[in-house]
Chain A
Amino acid sequence: MTEIAAQPKRPTTPDELSAAIAAAAQTGTQIHLTGSNSLPLTRFDAVRPVQTISTLRMNKLLEHAIADMTVTVQAGITLESLQKQLAWHNQWLPIDPPAPGGRSPGHRTIAGLIATNSLGPLRFGCGDYRLLVLGMRWVDSAGTLIRAGGRTVKNSAGYQTNRLMIGACGSLGAIAEVTLRTYARPADEQCVLFFCDSYPQAETLLAATLQSATVPAYVEMIGGRSFRANPLQLPASPAILVIGFLGRPEVCTAQVQAVRNLNEARNIEAISQTAAQAGRLRLWLTTEPAADVGFRIHALSSQVCPLMEQVEALAAKTGESWLVAEAAAGIIRGSVKTSDASNFWTQLREIARARDVTILATQGNFPGTPARDDDLLRRLKTELDPQNCFGLPPVN
C-alpha cells in the first residue's frame, strides 16, 4: 500500500520546487507532481512512500514579450488565467485541450497540459507543443534546475530537453517554467456541421475536405448518440462532421462555402455556425463527461470512422457513452459509464490492438497499449532518475 506523505508541498518558485524535490530524493521518496490533477497518469511503486508536490502556487506570468509574441510562465498557471492575460494584448495560445471527468479545461495547468501532451481540436490547424514550447526550466530528480531551449522561435543549440518533457507525464523531471510562442487572436471563427447518414459517408467527406483547397483549423467527428446533448440543441444524425475555420470573417465565410460546395457534401444536410456558436460548440466537444472509463485512441485519420463505428457499437452494449474525434489528426476521445468497466476496457484494448493503434486510459486505472520500444525510456530513467522518484508514464 503506497504511503502518501501527510502534507503536500506547494512551492511558489522554481527554487522552492527544486528544494522540495531534492528533499524527497534524499530519502528515496517517490514524487507525485500535480497541477490541477485532472489527468493523473503517472504510475508509482506501491511499496514506497510518495510525496505530493503541487505546482498550483507557481502561477505567475513572468514575462510577456508582446512585440516578440512570446510569453514565459510558471508551471502552475492555469490555461484560463494565461489566456485572460494574453487577451489584454489581443494574443492567445491556440490550444483547447480536453478535461476528462467533466472538469473545466481552463483549470488545467500549463505544465500539466504539456506533460500529458494534452491538446484539442485546434491541434490540427494550429500545431502542437513542439511548435508552441520554445524553452523551459525543469528540475531533475536530484533537485537541479535545468534550462532547455530558449526564447526565440528557432533554436538549434544543444539538446532540446524541453521536448523530452512533452508527454513524459513528469517521469523524467518537473517542469518549473515554460516559454511559449503566442499568436494574434483570430478575428473570427466559423464552422459548418455536416449531418452524415453513416460513418462511411463521413469518411468520404472528411477525405475530400482534406484534399480540398480549404485550410481548416479543426475537423471534429462526433457520434450521433453523443451529439444529442449538444449545447446548440441541433438534431443528431449517425455521424456529425464539424469543420471549423479561424481568421478574418470574409475568409472564414468563403472557406465554409467552399466546403459546402464540395461534390461529396452535396447530399448531406449542413448547418453553418458563426463565431459565438462555433466556439461554444468546439469547447463543448472537448468536455468529456465523468465516467467509469475514459480513453484516448491515437490512430490515423483514415482509421477514425471505422474505429468510431466499432467503438460506438461496443459502447452501445455497455452503457451511456461519449465519443468524439479530432478526425483529421486521428485522435479519438471517449468515455463510458458501465458497471463492467474492466470487461469494456479489455474489449476496447483488443480493438486497438487489432487496428494497430495506441490507447490510453484517461479515466479509470487501466493499462494502455504496451510501448513499442521502451529501451530508450529505461536508459534515460536510469540516468536521469535512477531511484525512479518520478514514477513511470502510462506506457508499459
Chain B
Amino acid sequence: MNATAEPFATEVQQAFAQLRTLLGPGGIIADPDELVVYECDGFTIPRARPLAVVFPTHTQHVSEILKILSRHHLAVLPRGSGTGLCGGIVAVTPGVQVSTARMKTIHQIDVRNRWALVDAGVLNLRLSDAIADAQLHFAPDPSSQRASTIGGNVATNAGGLHTLKYGVTVNHILGVEVVLADGSIHVLGGPHGHDIGPDFTGLICGTEGTLALITRVWCRLIPKPRAFRTALAIFDSTQHCCQTVADLIAAGIIPAALEMMDGAMIRIVEDAFHLGFPRSAQALLLIEVDGPEIGLEEDMNHIEQLARKNNATDIQRGSDPARRDALWSARRRAFAAIGRVSPSYCTQDACIPRSKLPMVIAKIAEICTRHHLQITNVFHAGDGNVHPVLMYDENDPAAVQRTLEASGEILRFCISVGGTVTGEHGVGIEKLPYMRDMFSPDDLHAMHRIRRALVTDDQMNPFKVLPRDGVTIDLEHPQRHVPQ
C-alpha cells in the first residue's frame, strides 16, 4: 500500500471524489470530527479513525465502492452496527469503513419453506419481529440483537443466549451474497442451503470481513418454541454452580439456555433491575427448557435434581411469560448494568470444554486477584463460553495495562485446557497475539493462503483475524506499529 504522504493524499482525494459521485454527498462522511464515533467498536481500547465512512444502499453500490477503493489502494473496513467486541472495524491501516446501515431491506420471506432473504444491514431482532406472526424466528440471539446487523452476525458467527440448543449463526445461514475486494459479486448457497461442493457459506461465516463484504443473507427460520419453563438455581459457591453445569451436559441434557452469573454480577443486576435476586448468593444459573408443553416439567425436574445434588440453596421455577421476559432482559442488559459500577470494562470470550468449567472459573478469579482487578462473570455456561468481565478505569494507564495482561493470561490458560480464545466475538485485533498459541504456522499459513486466493491486494479488513510475521499491533495505539 502506498503511504508516502503526497501521492497517498492524492489517491485519497480522488477516491473520495469518485465515492461522492457514486453515493451523493450524503453517502460519505469524511470530516475528522464526525469520524470520532467510528473509531472503535464495543472494545474501546483500540481506537483509530478511518479515512471516511461510506453508506451504500444496495449491492451494486458496494461493488462499485470496492472497485474504487481497490483502484486507489485503500483498505476496506466492513461495518455493520459497530457492536463488535474485538476491534474488528478499527482502522489499523488507512482505510474506509463501508457501512451496511442503509442496506436494511427484508427482501423476501418464505414461511412455507422457512427462509428469508435480507440485506446485511437488517437488524437481527427486526427479522424475528417481522416473522413473529408466522410463529417463526431467526434463532441467533446475541445480547446485541436489538442493535447488531445480520451481516455482522454472520461475519463474526455470533452466538447468543440460546446457542446451546439452537446453534450459532452459521447453523442458520442458508446462503450469502458477497462482494470480493475486486468488486465481483458472488452468490454462495441460497434458499436451498448447501448440498455438494465446498461449503463456502460456512467458510465466510466468522471471517470478520477479511475475505468478503456480505451484502445479503438467506436466513433459515425455525419455529418459535410454543412452551417453556424458566428456572433460577441459586448457589452459595461458584464451584457448585459450575459443577451443576458440567453434570447437566454430561447427563446429555440440552436446555434451551443455561446462563451463569457470579455473586458480583448478581448484585449489579439486582441493583439495576430489582428482580428479587438474593444479594448474598455467590452464583446463579438461569435455565430455560422449551418445546412442546408435554415433557417440560419432567425436564426441569431432572435439572433441579442435579442442581440440588450440587448444593443449590434455592430453585425458583415458573412459566410466567412476563417473568421470563424480565429475566432474559436483565441477562441481556447485564453488561450495560456494569456501567453503573465501573467506567470501563473488558470482557473475554474464551470457550472451554464444559467439564473444565469449575477449574477455569477458579483460575480466572486467581489471575484477576493477582493483577488487582475487579472482576465479575456472566456467561453461556452450557456452551463453556466464559465471559469474565474485567473492570478498570481507562484513564488509568496502569489499570489498562494490568487488564490487558490479565486478559492474556486468561486466554492462554483457556487454550491450555483445550479451549479456544473466542467462542462468538471473533478475533479482530484483540486476540491476534493468541492465535499462535492456538494454531501452528502451517495452520495459519493455510488460512493466509485462502485469504490470498480471494483477496488479491490485501484490501479486505487487513491485519485482522490472522497474525502476520513481523507485525505487532499495539492495542492502545493501533495505527503505530503496522509496517506501511
Of B112, B205, B252, B449, which contacts A160 at CB under 8 A? B205
Kindly state whether residue A41 has any CB partner on chain B within 8 Å: yes
Which of B113, B380, B425 has the most chain A CB atoms closer than 10 A to its own CB?
B113
* CB proximity of A390 to chain B, nearest CB, Å: 11
Give every chain B residue within 8 A of A169 (Cβ-Cβ).
Answer: 196-197
B420 touching A155 by the CB < 8 A rule?
A: yes
Kindly state whether residue B50 has any CB partner on chain A within 8 Å: no
B113 touching A302 by the CB < 8 A rule?
A: yes
Kindly state whether residue B450 has any CB partner on chain A within 8 Å: yes
Interface band, chain A: 35 or more
A379 touching B453 by the CB < 8 A rule?
A: yes
The stretch that binds B, out of A105-113, A207-215, A341-349, is A207-215
Give every chain B residue within 8 A of A248 (Cβ-Cβ).
Answer: 295, 298
Q: What 1/0 flags go to A53-70 for Cβ under 8 Å of B?
A: 000000000000111111
Which of B192, B354, B384, B443 has the most chain A CB atoms closer than 10 A to its own CB?
B192
B197 touching A167 by the CB < 8 A rule?
A: yes
Give every chain A residue within 8 A of B91 (Cβ-Cβ).
Answer: none
How distant is the Cα of A211 from the Cα of B222 in the complex, in angstroms? 10
Report if A154-B159 is in contact (Cβ < 8 Å); known contacts: A166-B202, A167-B196.
Answer: yes
Report if A368-B196 is in contact (Cβ < 8 Å); known contacts: A156-B422, A158-B465, A373-B186.
Answer: yes
Closest residue to B298 on the A side, CB-wise?
A248
Give every chain B residue within 8 A of A2 (Cβ-Cβ).
Answer: none
Kindly state whether residue A258 has any CB partner on chain B within 8 Å: yes
A330 touching B113 by the CB < 8 A rule?
A: yes
Closest residue to A329 on the B side, CB-wise?
B193
Q: What 1/0 flags go to B139-175 for Cβ under 8 Å of A?
A: 0000000000000000011010001000110110000
A146 touching B203 by the CB < 8 A rule?
A: no
A358 touching B195 by the CB < 8 A rule?
A: yes
B199 touching A383 by the CB < 8 A rule?
A: no
B186 touching A393 by the CB < 8 A rule?
A: no
The stretch that binds B, out of A4-12, A249-257, A266-274, A283-291, is A249-257
B198 touching A164 by the CB < 8 A rule?
A: yes
B170 touching A130 by the CB < 8 A rule?
A: yes
B295 touching A383 by the CB < 8 A rule?
A: no
A250 touching B295 by the CB < 8 A rule?
A: yes
Give every chain B residue within 8 A of A380 (Cβ-Cβ).
Answer: 198, 450, 453-454
Of A69, A127, A144, which contacts B171 at CB under 8 A? A127
Give every chain B residue within 8 A of A157 (Cβ-Cβ).
Answer: 420-422, 427, 431, 435, 438-439
Give every chain B residue within 8 A of A183 (Cβ-Cβ).
Answer: 252, 254
B171 touching A166 by the CB < 8 A rule?
A: no
Give every chain B residue within 8 A of A150 (Cβ-Cβ).
Answer: 418-420, 438
How distant is the Cα of A167 from the Cα of B188 in the complex, in angstroms? 14
Give every chain A residue within 8 A of B194 (Cβ-Cβ).
Answer: 117, 128, 130, 166-167
Of B197, B351, B384, B424, which contacts A371 at CB under 8 A? B197
A330 touching B192 by the CB < 8 A rule?
A: yes
The stretch that binds A, out of B125-133, B243-251, B367-375, B402-410, is B243-251
Give every chain A residue within 8 A of B353 (Cβ-Cβ).
Answer: 65, 68, 70, 151-152
How distant is the Cα of A171 from the Cα of B199 in the complex, in angstroms? 12
A156 touching B442 by the CB < 8 A rule?
A: no
Interface positions of B from 245 to 299, Cβ below 8 Å from A: 246, 249-254, 291-292, 294-295, 298
Give every chain A residue within 8 A of B321 (Cβ-Cβ).
Answer: none
B444 touching A158 by the CB < 8 A rule?
A: yes
A152 touching B419 by the CB < 8 A rule?
A: yes
* CB proximity of A330 to chain B, nearest CB, Å: 6
Give every chain B residue within 8 A of A300 (Cβ-Cβ).
Answer: 110, 113, 191-192
Kindly state whether residue A153 has any CB partner on chain B within 8 Å: yes
Report if A158-B427 is in contact (Cβ < 8 Å); known contacts: A166-B194, A373-B186.
Answer: yes
Report if A152-B442 is in contact (Cβ < 8 Å); known contacts: A330-B192, A384-B450.
Answer: no
Closest residue to A129 on the B side, CB-wise?
B199
A156 touching B156 by the CB < 8 A rule?
A: yes
Q: What 1/0 flags go to B447-465 for Cβ under 8 Å of A?
A: 1011111100000000001
Kindly state whether residue B17 has any CB partner on chain A within 8 Å: no
Which of A144, A158, A296, A382 has the most chain B CB atoms closer than 10 A to its own CB?
A158
B113 touching A301 by the CB < 8 A rule?
A: yes
* CB proximity of B380 to chain A, nearest CB, Å: 8
B191 touching A247 by the CB < 8 A rule?
A: no
B420 touching A376 by the CB < 8 A rule?
A: no
How distant is the Cα of A151 from the Cα of B353 in the complex, in angstroms? 7
Kindly state whether residue A22 has any CB partner on chain B within 8 Å: no
A67 touching B354 by the CB < 8 A rule?
A: yes
* CB proximity of B316 to chain A, nearest CB, Å: 24
Interface positions of B from 372 to 420, Cβ below 8 Å from A: 380, 383-385, 418-420
Which of B194, B246, B466 has the most chain A CB atoms closer than 10 A to its own CB?
B194
Kindly state whether residue A116 has any CB partner on chain B within 8 Å: yes
A210 touching B114 by the CB < 8 A rule?
A: yes
Of B438, B444, B453, which contacts A384 at CB under 8 A? B453
A258 touching B292 by the CB < 8 A rule?
A: yes
Kindly state whether residue B362 has any CB partner on chain A within 8 Å: no
A164 touching B168 by the CB < 8 A rule?
A: no
How distant is the Cα of A247 from the Cα of B302 in the complex, in angstroms? 14
Of B193, B223, B291, B352, which contacts A152 at CB under 8 A? B352
How distant is the Cα of A382 from the Cα of B249 in the complex, in angstroms? 43
Of B380, B420, B446, B465, which contacts A146 at CB under 8 A? B446
Report if A66-B250 is in contact (Cβ < 8 Å); known contacts: A153-B384, A157-B421, A382-B453.
Answer: yes
Give every chain B residue within 8 A of A91 (Cβ-Cβ).
Answer: 252
B113 touching A375 by the CB < 8 A rule?
A: no
Kindly state whether residue A172 has any CB partner on chain B within 8 Å: yes
A393 touching B197 by the CB < 8 A rule?
A: yes
Give every chain B residue within 8 A of A296 (Cβ-Cβ).
Answer: 195
Closest residue to A393 on the B side, CB-wise?
B197
A251 touching B198 by the CB < 8 A rule?
A: no
Closest residue to B299 on the A side, CB-wise?
A248
A154 touching B187 by the CB < 8 A rule?
A: no
Give every chain B residue within 8 A of A167 (Cβ-Cβ).
Answer: 194-199
* CB proximity of A7 to chain B, nearest CB, Å: 29
Kindly state whether residue A307 has any CB partner on chain B within 8 Å: no
Of A156, A210, A247, A371, which contacts B157 at CB under 8 A? A156
Give every chain B residue within 8 A of A395 (Cβ-Cβ).
Answer: 196-197
Give every chain A residue within 8 A of B418 (Cβ-Cβ).
Answer: 150-152
Kindly state whether residue B46 has any CB partner on chain A within 8 Å: no
Kindly state whether residue A275 has any CB partner on chain B within 8 Å: no
Interface positions of A from 66 to 86, Cβ below 8 Å from B: 66-70
A152 touching B435 by the CB < 8 A rule?
A: no
Closest residue to B200 on the A side, CB-wise?
A376
B191 touching A68 by the CB < 8 A rule?
A: no
Report if A127-B439 is in contact (Cβ < 8 Å); known contacts: A117-B196, A213-B292.
Answer: no
Q: What 1/0 flags go to B344-356 for Cβ under 8 Å of A?
A: 0000010111110
Kindly state whether residue A351 has any CB partner on chain B within 8 Å: no
Cβ-closest 9 pairs across A and B: A184-B252, A163-B202, A383-B453, A154-B423, A251-B295, A67-B250, A168-B198, A67-B355, A298-B195
5 CB contacts below 8 A, A to B, read A68-B250, A130-B199, A131-B167, A152-B353, A158-B435
A interface residues with partner B (beta carbon < 8 Å): 41, 65-70, 90-91, 116-117, 127-128, 130-131, 140, 144-148, 150-161, 163-169, 171-172, 183-185, 207, 210-211, 213-215, 247-248, 250-251, 254-255, 258, 296, 298-302, 330, 357-358, 360, 368, 371-373, 375-377, 379-380, 382-384, 393-395
